[in-house]
Amino acid sequence: MRLGHLILRTTVGAFFVGHGTQKLFGWFGGHGLDATAQAFEGLGLRPGRPNAIAAGAAEAGGGALLLSGRANPLAATVLTSTMLTAIRRVHAKNGPWATNGGYEYNVVLIAAALALAPPGAGRLSATEHRSDWAWTLAALLTALAGTAAAELATRQAPPPQAAGDAGSEIADSAAQPADQVGS
C-alpha cells in the first residue's frame, strides 16, 4: 500500500513542480511570470504578479514537498487551495469535463493531494495511521480557508489602471485545457 503512495506522491509532486515553474520561470513551455501575472489580472486575480508568484510558489513548493515526502499536510493544503482557486476562477463555468476546459483534472489533483495529506504517506511502511482522516480533513478545511482568504483579498484589490487587450488574450488562453496558465 505505501508503494502506491510513493508512486502517487512522486508523480503528482513532479508535475506540480513543473507546473509551478512554468508560471514562475517559463520552464517546460510555460508562459513565465509576466504573462502569468497578466493572465491573472484578466481573471480578476489582482494584483496579478503577487497572485502569480503565490500560485507558482504553492505549486512548485507543494510539489517539492510531496516529492520529498516531507510536510505532506502542508503540501496538500497549498496544492488544494491553488486548485480550488483555479476551479473557481477558470474551470467552473465550463462544467466538469476537461475536454470542455472544465474542472475534472483539478478535482483529481485535489483528491490525490488530500490522499497524501497524512504524515507518513511518503514512507514505505506497512503501518496504517488511524488519524489519516483527521489530517486529510484538516488539510481540506485549511485549504478552503486559504482559498476564501485569497478570494477576499482579490476582491479588495483595486482594478488595474490600464486594462488593455494584451492581457485579455493571455487570460483567454488560461481557459484552454491544454495550456492552462491559471490552473
State the pLDDT at residue 135: 74
Burial 113-132 (b: 16+ CB within 10 A, else e): bbbbbbebbbeeeeeeeeee
Place of cell 508512486: 7
State the pLDDT at residue 176: 43
pTM score, two decimals? 0.72
Place of cell 467552473: 92
Which residues, at least 6 apart from 28, have a Cβ–Cβ distance to it below 8 Å? 18, 21, 22
CA dist., res. 181 & res. 84, Å (int): 15
State the pLDDT at residue 129: 52
- 7 CB-contact burial (10 Å; exposed 0-12 / middle 13-18 / buried 19+): exposed
Give the CB-side neighbour count of residue 176, counting CA atoms within 13 A. 9
Task: Kindly give the confidence (pLDDT) of every residue in the chain, 183 residues in length, as a single tens digit, with 9 standing for 90 and above.
Answer: 477 888 898 999 999 999 999 999 999 999 999 999 999 999 988 899 999 999 999 999 999 999 988 888 899 999 999 999 999 999 999 999 999 999 999 999 999 998 888 876 544 433 345 566 677 777 777 877 877 887 777 777 776 665 444 444 444 444 444 444 455
Q: Can you read off the three cell numbers belonging to residue 66? A: 510531496
State the pLDDT at residue 90: 94
- Indicate the domain borders of the chain: 2-159
How does DSSP assign 7-53, residue by residue?
HHHHHHHHHHHHHHHHHHH-GGG--HHHHHHHHHHHTT-SSHHHHHH
